[in-house]
Structure 1
Amino acid sequence: MGTFDKVIERAGQHHGGREAVLAQARNAHGVKNLSKVPADRLLSTMTRCMFNAGFNWKVIEAKWDGFEAAFEGFDPAKLAFFGDEMMGDLVSDERIVRNGQKIKATLENARMVAEIEQNEGGFGHFLASWPADDQTGLMATLNKRGSRLGGATAQYFLRFCGWDAWITSGDMCAALKREGVLDKPAATSKGDLAKVQAAVNGWHGESGLPRATISRLLALSTG
C-alpha cells in the first residue's frame, strides 16, 4: 500500500491538479453536529437510500414528496406505533413506490430509530458517538438491528446523513486493488471490509483527511 499523497497525485492528474481534485472530493454531505439532526430526517434519508437500492434514483427522487406525505414525515414514534395499521394503506398508495418488502422494512426501521431515540440518547447522538474508525462495526449494528440495511445501503445512508463514511464503489475498489489492499476490485466479505477499514484508517492517520474524502479521492484516482 502506497502513501496517500501518491493517490492524491494520481487523482489530480485525471481531474485538474491537486487543489482541484481535493475540492471535488470534499464531502458535500458532511454536517457539523450529527447529534442535532432530527430523527425524522435521519429515517427519511435511511428510507431513501433503501428504496434507491435496485431502483432508478431519479424515480425515487421524483416521488419523494409523496413518500414524505405517505410516511407521515417519517416521524419514527408515529410510524413505530401505527406501523402495522398503516401497512395496508401504504402498499396501495400511488404516491410512493409500492414495494411491500421495502415498505415493511421502513416501518421496522422506524421502530429501531424510535427505540434508540428513547433509550440511547437520540438516534443522531447514537450515530455521532460511534467511533469514526469503526464504520464496519456501525454497519453491522445497523444491519442487525434494522431491516434491509446491509451492503451498500448502509454505506450510502451513513454518507448522506452526514457521517464520515467511505463507500466501496466500483472505482474505489478498483483503486484499492491497485494499491494492494484488495485481491479483487470488490469488497464482498467481512474480511474485505476489514481490509478497507484498516487502509482508510491508515491513510486518515497519514493525511488527516476525512474518510469520506479519502474514499472519493480513491475513486477519482482511477480516471
Structure 2
Amino acid sequence: MTAEPLRVVLASHNRHKLDELRRILSPLVPEIELLGYDGPEPIEDGIGFEENALIKARAAAAHTGLPAIADDSGISVDILGGSPGIFSARWAGTARSGGGDPDRANLRLLLAQLADIADEHRSASFVCAAALALPAASPTPTGSENGDEVAVRGVWPGSILRAPAGEGGFGYDPVFRPEGEHRSAAQLSPEEKDAHSHRRRAFTRLAAEIRTRLVP
C-alpha cells in the first residue's frame, strides 16, 4: 500500500512561487504534497528575512492546522548597505500604486540609484530565508515538538546590470546577473534558475529540516 503524502502548505498566494517550490522540493522531499494557501496574510513586521518568513509560516500553520513553509526574499545591494533587503517588493513605495507595474517601478528606482556607480561596485545578492512552522496542536509523524519551527538562509551572489535584460522570471531578475554568468536571471531557463537560485539554496537546506521533523 502506498503511504499517503504528507500535506504541507506554502504560505503564499503567489502561484508562480508555488510552482517553483514544487519543482525544487519534489525531488528533495518526495513524501510531501505542497499545497497552495488562500488564508489571511499576516503583517510582516520583522526586521530580517528570517523573522518575516517565520511570521508567514506560523500564520499559515495556525490557519490550516498543517505544517507550513514560507519564504521571505529580496535583493541586497552592497553599496546601498544591503538595501532594498526586506523592502525589495515595495522599494518604490507609493510609486507602485496608480495602476502601474510594481516590479517596473522598483527596477526603475534601483537603476536610478545606481546610475553613477561603476561596474566593479555594483555587487549584489539575492537572499532568501525559508521557514518551516508546525501547528501547535497537531501530532507529527516523527514526534517533533508541537509548534516547532526553524528558518534557514540561501544567498545567490552576483551584480546589478545597467539595464533590464530578458523576459523570464519576475521581480529584480531582469537586472540581476548571477556570479559567473553573462546573462541576467531573467534570461535563464526555469531549470537553470531552479538549480542555482537563492530559493534553491534556502529550500535545499530547509528540505533537510523538513525530513528531520516530518518524514517518518
TM-score normalised by structure 1 residue count: 0.30
TM-score normalised by structure 2 residue count: 0.31
RCO comparison, higher one (Cα < 8 Å, 6+): 1
